[in-house]
Structure formats: C-alpha cells, structure tokens
Amino acid sequence: MTRRFAQLDVFSPQPTRGNPLAVVVDADGLDDGQLAAFARWTNLSETTFLLPPAHPDADYRVRIFTPGGELPFAGHPTLGSAHAWLATGGVPKAERIVQECGVGLVPIRRDGERLAFAAPPLIRTGSVDQAVVAEVAAALGLDSTEISAAEWVVNGPDWMLLVLDSGERVLSLQPDMAALGTHKVGVVGPYPSGSPISYEVRAFAPGVGVPEDPVTGSLNAGVAMWMRAAGRVPPEYVAAQGAAIGRAGRVYITDDGTDIWVGGDCVTVIEGTVAL
C-alpha cells in the first residue's frame, strides 16, 4: 500500500540542520513489526507514524520509534509530526493542536510558523546515585567535581541530566559511547548572562541506537521543568544543541506560569510516498 511520507528537520528553519524526523502520515493498518522495521530502515533517531485518534479530544495519534524500539513521548517527533499533519491537510478541532501519544494528550500551540508543545510532567525526579554519576562522568571524560548537579528528568525517555559550569565545556565533551552503555545522558551548561544563547545542551543515548541526538525536545523539556522546580528557569530562554555534530538547532523555552512551552521551527525536506 502507498502511504504519504515526509522527512523534516526540526528545531531549525533551514534544511540539513536541527534534528531529522521521518513521518508516515497514513499509518493505519501497520502492525508493530512493520513500524519497527521501517524505523530501522530510515536509520534516523526517530520515525513517527500518524494514526486516527482514540481519545475524543485528540486531533491525531502518534507512535514514535527509534531504531531500537518505541518511545511513549519525544519532543522533536511531537513538533515534526504536528508540522507534517498540518502540511497534509490536518485541521485542529480547537485553537491548539492536541496530540495523543504514549504519555497521554500533549497540547501544541502555533506562534506563526513556529510550533511549541507543553512540557509533560516529570514522572521521575531526584538525584542520581553517585556511583552511577562516577561511571557516566568517566565515560564522558569528566571529573566528577565538574558536575554541579546530577538529576533524573524523566518525562518518557529515561534522561539523566548532568549540569556543568559552561556551555564551552559541554561542547568539548568526547564521550566513549561503549562505556556509556544503556545510559541516556543529557548534559547542559550555561553561557554568560546577556548571551543570545542561554544554555548549550547535548544528549547521548547509544543504547537505543542514537549515539548523539542532534536536538532533543524531551530532554530540553525535562531541563526546563527541573530548572523551574529549582527556581532557576527564566520566563524565556534559548538553548542551543547539535553544533557538536554539525546539526545546529535552537530550542525556545517559555514559562507562562502554568505550562512550560518547548518550541522550535520545522522545515520539510522530502515529501512523497512509501510502499508499506
């Protein structure tokens, strides 16, 4: 069967930057094995499959796959899927788009051409065990004393967050992917006050087939939620990610006092059909 297909770059308005995403728009009728096989075939960090919603308040339902398996939620697939759904004729029931996925309903708002999703609540928080921190620090080439905080920021993917003293130190990391093993590690460091970019972010998940993710919406959402709880999040800031692997992107964070919105630009690079 022929199905509509698009490949996008998310968290960038320019092709070949940001985080690539494959979207199968008409995925109804495909079984789990077909979804997983196609996600492995695209060899991208995530591939999404759009389906009719099961919840009456949702506009569409999405299933999100990495080459290693299915995720209940991920950030750049949320924005990219919404972009592809709109571009192929989707019309939301209300002012905001509502996506249904493994963590429930995720609101998405439009700000011109830019989309933003409401960060889902953290389902696991707290400090990371020091033995695990030491193991991960060694894999990243860090001394444990360089890490000012090590926290769980789990909103779907099991992200472990390490906070360093500067964005430059984050960019300098040269991780040993084999030593990282199954750990999903996000690293963040600030830039000086007044800089156009507030934080540099990197994300490593070799255990699910993604050695380094170019730009990671779920991690940036978790970082912002953790910073709010710690009293650190400003009303708005911009995070940079992807420069270390030639896929520079920007994540726009807004805290409206109720929700934290994680925004970014999207651009369609390939559109057509696939035989599945």
Give the closest residue to 84 by CA, choosing from 97, 72, 74: 97
Q: Structural domain boundaries of the chain? A: 1-118+261-273, 122-253
Q: pLDDT tens-digit profile of 149-165?
A: 999 999 988 999 999 99
Which are the contacts of 185, defined by CB distance < 8 A and separation ≥ 6? 136, 140, 159, 160, 162, 203, 204, 205
pLDDT in tens, 16-26: 999 999 999 99
Alpha helices in 122-164 (DSSP H): 130-140
Residues 82-103 pLDDT 10s = 999 999 999 999 999 999 999 9
H helices present in the chain, as ranges:
32-42, 75-87, 130-140, 167-172, 177-180, 217-229
Q: What was the pLDDT predicted at 94?
A: 96
The pLDDT assigned to 234 comes to 86
CB within 8 Å of 159: residues ≥ 6 apart: 152, 153, 184, 185, 186, 203, 218, 219, 222
| pLDDT band of 72, cuts 50, 70, 90 | very high
Confidence of residue 113 (pLDDT cuts 50, 70, 90): confident
Cα–Cα dist 82/101, whole Å: 12
Report, as an integer, the average pLDDT of 179-200. Answer: 97
Percent pLDDT > 90 in the chain is: 93
Same fold, 1-118+261-273 and 122-253: yes
With a pLDDT cut of 70, the percent of the chain lying above it is 100
- For the domain 122-253, what is the CATH code? 3.10.310.10
- Give the pLDDT mean for 214-234: 92
Whole-prediction pTM value?
0.93
* Whole-angstrom distance, CA of residue 13 vs CA of residue 43: 22
Which one of 3.10.310.10, 3.40.50.2300, 3.30.70.1060, 3.40.190.10 gives the CATH number of domain 1-118+261-273?
Answer: 3.10.310.10
Give catalytic residues, as residue numbers: 46
